[in-house]
A and B are shown apart, each in its own frame.
Chain A
Amino acid sequence: DTAVSQTPKYLVTQMGNDKSIKCEQNLGHDTMYWYKQDSKKFLKIMFSYNNKELIINETVPNRFSPKSPDKAHLNLHINSLELGDSAVYFCASSQGGLAVTDTQYFGPGTRLTVL
């Protein structure tokens, strides 16, 4: 039973399209994250939600809009896709603010290719 799942695993689309990536965790965690791993392999934090509230919003273009309908789900919607959006996007979850450490559990990643 997968702890953190993402769909789709692969996404190939044209420039200018709008697409969504879904993430679900069944660990009962309070905090969820989106990371972007670019061609240089850095894992960069994009957003973090704690109990459906946004707590981290790094300097990400506002074409990216996260949505957390409940604390088990954090979806990422991307408008007007650009070539530079091509990357692997990872969702993660962690216990949250009352935990001692921020051990994160990652999904398998979504490889987005913008043509």
Chain B
Amino acid sequence: DQQVKQNSPSLSVQEGRISILNCDYTNSMFDYFLWYKKYPAEGPTFLISISSIKDKNEDGRFTVFLNKSAKHLSLHIVPSQPGDSAVYFCAASTRITGGFKTIFGAGTRLFVKA
């Protein structure tokens, strides 16, 4: 049972426009939500996160929105650039004894066309 779902395997956007990547989760116990970006043949790299007590976090061109009642979060990239073309993983984290447990979604591949 996937607790974190990214239902769009891919997304294509024109350079300069907004990219919106979506993520749904099922477990209301998650404390933090994170987005990671992954280029081919590399490991994922952290992009931005949001606490479960917030509804928005912004960092430059990247903004994450959290709708707890809908158990939904989204990542907005404005303006999109060709270098943003990558796979984006949504992740949700909860505290456990000794640390954290983080569940990842399947990823959405973003193509930004020049």
Q: In the complex the two chains form, is B46's CB within 8 Å of A109's CB?
A: no
Query: Interface size (A, Cβ < 8 Å)?
Result: 28
Q: In the complex the two chains form, is B43's CB within 8 Å of A53's CB?
A: no
Please report the C-alpha to C-alpha distance between residue A48 and residue B32 in the assembled complex, in whole angstroms. Answer: 18
Q: In the complex the two chains form, is B49's CB within 8 Å of A109's CB?
A: no
User: Residue of A at shortest CB range from B31?
Assistant: A101
Q: In the complex the two chains form, is A101's CB within 8 Å of B93's CB?
A: yes
Secondary structure dominating the interface of B: strand
Nearest 4 Cβ contacts at the A-B interface:
A106-B43, A102-B100, A55-B98, A43-B104
Q: A43-B104, A55-B98 known; A4 and B43 CB under 8 Å?
A: yes
User: Residue of B at shortest CB range from A91?
Assistant: B43
In the complex, chain B residues whose CB is within 8 Å of the CB of A75:
none
Please report the C-alpha to C-alpha distance between residue A107 and residue B46 in the assembled complex, in whole angstroms. Answer: 12
Please report the C-alpha to C-alpha distance between residue A41 and residue B86 in the assembled complex, in whole angstroms. Answer: 13
Please report the C-alpha to C-alpha distance between residue A103 and residue B45 in the assembled complex, in whole angstroms. Answer: 9
Q: In the complex the two chains form, is A109's CB within 8 Å of B93's CB?
A: no
Contact indicator per residue, chain B 46-71, by CB within 8 Å of chain A (1) or not (0): 10010100000000000000000000
In the complex, chain B residues whose CB is within 8 Å of the CB of A53:
98
Closest-CB distance, B90 to chain A (whole angstroms): 11
In the complex, chain B residues whose CB is within 8 Å of the CB of A40:
106
Closest-CB distance, B85 to chain A (whole angstroms): 16
Contact indicator per residue, chain B 73-114, by CB within 8 Å of chain A (1) or not (0): 000000000000001010001001111111110110000000
Q: Which of A4, A41, A42, A102 contacts B102 (CB 8 A)?
A: A102
Please report the C-alpha to C-alpha distance between residue A109 and residue B42 in the assembled complex, in whole angstroms. Answer: 7
Residue B29 CB within 8 A of the other chain:
no
CB neighbors of B among A75-115 (8 A): 90, 92, 94, 96-97, 101-109
Please report the C-alpha to C-alpha distance between residue A42 and residue B103 in the assembled complex, in whole angstroms. Answer: 10
Q: A4-B43, A43-B44 known; A104 and B98 CB under 8 Å?
A: no
CB neighbors of B among A25-42 (8 A): 31, 35, 40-42
